[in-house]
Chain A
């Protein structure tokens, strides 16, 4: 059934895939190797790539720490609500960009992209003073508000693409049925664009998941920290090296993000695919 050329091409595909996979996998296996070591073996570097006394204690120790689960919850809450907020705020604007043709539309879309170019480093200090004035320092609400803002530019772009893919005919039909414009948007367009919205949500969540500077500057109580900040607690000290715990904590931290992606990857991809669900 498969031609000779086809087999050759398949072999080439796999050869390339294995090479690329190796480039991405080798560093990850390092992380696994470190997470399985005893503190003593950490100092032996590459000479103990396969630990002599592999142990799962590091994972146990990280998970037994009640604080750690709390960090995970905080991270989920902040990144989830932040992502949801971005989608809700961005949706009407993305709809307008998709459906209306007004003067300055292109310029405004570029302007929205341009705000993403601002380095978080420096606006954070003005933002810190400003949030203090609003009374939102040391609160999750303040962090979520900033996450919403950070996620907005890319979310507007993603949702515009998703709305572009919703056939206009359906909205016209709704209008004939007597729906108002906003009602059409809520009842027809949004549900039809839900894969796009799901993917924007997940992409935002993944990006928020790894935010460090924002929660770090805004929150000083350990109980409020997301894992991206708390993970620095495992970075060791002058008197003890805790690289083994850091590695285990990192592995546990990346699992939810990978899991979310695996569960929803089809939606993510189709949202990015303009017009893929047209048919």
Chain B
């Protein structure tokens, strides 16, 4: 019977939460920006906005404060509106799947951030509302071509604003590698030289992650390779494309086999792993995203930070170049024109002042001129590389194609399959998948 007390303790524990809960949300009534809204609680118009936790609600206080200011200005310019904010977690796949499922069920947010790689899926699902009326023709014309193409639907309507882009570049510690290698051969040689000096060699994503396929695809695209035909069916394992695919695969395979890249690249699944090696000074070269430049600047002491320089990704020859371009879009999922317009306004807030604040790359040339934040020398390299930018194909089969490329790269990099064999197996898997 003595145990009765324990049961009561346990029950009490489980109730405390239920009772204390209502006390909490009543705290901040008149703040203009709170955890779940921007604007006054009793505003007459409202829309729901599903955003990532990278800006307004960033765990980094400086970023969050900057965006609170931007949003405060914004909502003061749109009196009578309240934005009910809904957070997306960093769990990218589940988040995008959830928005789709909710949108199908008519419970989606009015406005949402969508990964540029998923835009095609959302477009095909027919859940995005046209926004064309809320942009001027000049604004639309000024978008980078690959961006404009990705956000335009079959009717010629703009259905999203791809508000920032990113790209892949070659990083090098200029103290160790003074000249930027331009070709695959030069890159391998330069990496081998750094290995002789005690560094790890060239690092890149090689594990099971989207970044692996996407970073590497630049080398396939540089040769003019094409992943899918106009119907969206995969063609990369046939004919000329097959040769180009194998050549790019051979480039990675040779890097590992020659020791120019360590075998552990097959385990690298986040860009942070690579930043870590650069910060710790164990590598002098890596293939990374443009945002890592700023990370290195804030992580390393000034004298070391300025050693790190960026250049365009190498090609099979110096004039065959490409780089994968990603980023995020904002799109409306509502039928209400007023909400769609508001969503477009939010998208513009992110594209202009938002990008300037975060130093993310805008998708429109004019914005680079408009803001001083984009004046650094690294932006010249990024801008030049963007001319060879290539977005992921806007087809629903891309995620599976990427999945197969990740698998085959892993097999090649861990030396468990020869490139030809790995490609044939991926092709077989895709053939089974596409016969429905």
B302 at interface by CB-CB < 8 Å: no
A233/B1 in contact, CB under 8 A = no
B59 at interface by CB-CB < 8 Å: yes
Complex Cα distance A69/B182, Å? 52
A264/B4 in contact, CB under 8 A = no
B299/A267 in contact, CB under 8 A = no
A277/B3 in contact, CB under 8 A = yes
B299/A40 in contact, CB under 8 A = yes
B29 at interface by CB-CB < 8 Å: no
Complex Cα distance A264/B59, Å? 34
Which residue of chain A has the shortest Cβ distance to B64 in the bound complex? Answer: A65
B89/A232 in contact, CB under 8 A = yes
B98/A240 in contact, CB under 8 A = no
Q: Which residues of B contact A198 (CB under 8 A)?
A: 3, 6-7, 9-10
Contact of A233 among B59, B105, B298 (CB under 8 A): B59
0/1 per residue, A210-237, Cβ < 8 Å to B? Answer: 0001001100111101000110111111
Which residue of chain B has the shortest Cβ distance to A80 in the bound complex? Answer: B14
A201/B10 in contact, CB under 8 A = yes
Q: Which applies to chain B's interface (DSSP): helix, strand, loop or mixed? A: helix
Q: Which applies to chain A's interface (DSSP): helix, strand, loop or mixed? A: helix
Looking at A22-30, A105-113, A124-132, the stretch in contact with chain B turns out to be A124-132
A128/B101 in contact, CB under 8 A = yes
Complex Cα distance A237/B272, Å? 10
Contact of A216 among B20, B24, B25, B98 (CB under 8 A): B98
A239/B54 in contact, CB under 8 A = yes
* Chain B: interface size category: 35 or more
Complex Cα distance A213/B89, Å? 12
B36/A223 in contact, CB under 8 A = yes
Q: Which residues of A contact B87 (CB under 8 A)?
A: 222, 225, 233
A120 at interface by CB-CB < 8 Å: no
Complex Cα distance A73/B13, Å? 11
Which residue of chain A has the shortest Cβ distance to B27 in the bound complex? Answer: A66
A242/B4 in contact, CB under 8 A = no
B3/A132 in contact, CB under 8 A = no
Q: Which residues of B contact A194 (CB under 8 A)?
A: 3-4, 6-7
A191/B1 in contact, CB under 8 A = yes
Contact of A239 among B1, B50, B89, B291 (CB under 8 A): B291
A222/B35 in contact, CB under 8 A = yes
Contact of B89 among A44, A74, A125, A235 (CB under 8 A): A235
Interface size on A, residues (CB 8 A): 67
B78 at interface by CB-CB < 8 Å: no
User: Which A191-211 residues sit within 8 Å CB-CB of chain B?
Assistant: 191-192, 194-195, 197-198, 201-202, 205
Q: Which residues of A contact B86 (CB under 8 A)?
A: 220-222
Complex Cα distance A229/B3, Å? 34
Complex Cα distance A205/B289, Å? 42
A156 at interface by CB-CB < 8 Å: no
0/1 per residue, B1-40, Cβ < 8 Å to A? Answer: 1011011011101111110110011011000000110000
B90 at interface by CB-CB < 8 Å: yes
Which residue of chain A has the shortest Cβ distance to B20 in the bound complex? Answer: A73
User: Which A237-279 residues sit within 8 Å CB-CB of chain B?
Assistant: 237-243, 245, 260, 263-264, 266-267, 270, 277
Q: Which residues of B contact A197 (CB under 8 A)?
A: 7
Complex Cα distance A73/B53, Å? 21
Max count, chain B CB within 10 A of own CB: residue among A76, A84, A233, A238: A238
Q: Taking A69-B24, A81-B14 as contacts, is the C-beta distance between A236 and B6 under 8 angstroms?
A: no
A223/B25 in contact, CB under 8 A = yes
A70 at interface by CB-CB < 8 Å: yes
Report B391 CB to chain A, min CB distance, Å: 16
Report A257 CB to chain B, min CB distance, Å: 11
By a beta-carbon cutoff of 8 Å, the part of chain A in contact with chain B is 39-40, 42-45, 47, 61, 66-67, 69-70, 73-81, 83-84, 125, 128-129, 132, 137, 191-192, 194-195, 197-198, 201-202, 205, 213, 216-217, 220-223, 225, 229-230, 232-243, 245, 260, 263-264, 266-267, 270, 277
29 A-B pairs (CB sep. < 8 Å): A39-B298, A43-B279, A44-B280, A66-B24, A69-B24, A73-B24, A76-B16, A77-B17, A78-B17, A79-B14, A80-B14, A80-B16, A81-B14, A194-B7, A198-B10, A202-B10, A205-B10, A205-B14, A217-B94, A225-B87, A232-B91, A233-B57, A233-B89, A237-B58, A242-B60, A243-B272, A245-B59, A263-B9, A264-B6
- Shortest Cβ-Cβ A-B pairs, 6 listed: A80-B14, A76-B17, A232-B89, A77-B17, A43-B279, A195-B3
With A70-B24, A216-B89, A236-B90 given, name 20 new contacts (CB 8 A). A66-B24, A66-B27, A76-B16, A77-B18, A79-B14, A80-B18, A83-B14, A191-B4, A223-B35, A232-B53, A232-B91, A233-B53, A233-B87, A237-B58, A238-B271, A238-B291, A241-B272, A260-B13, A267-B6, A267-B10
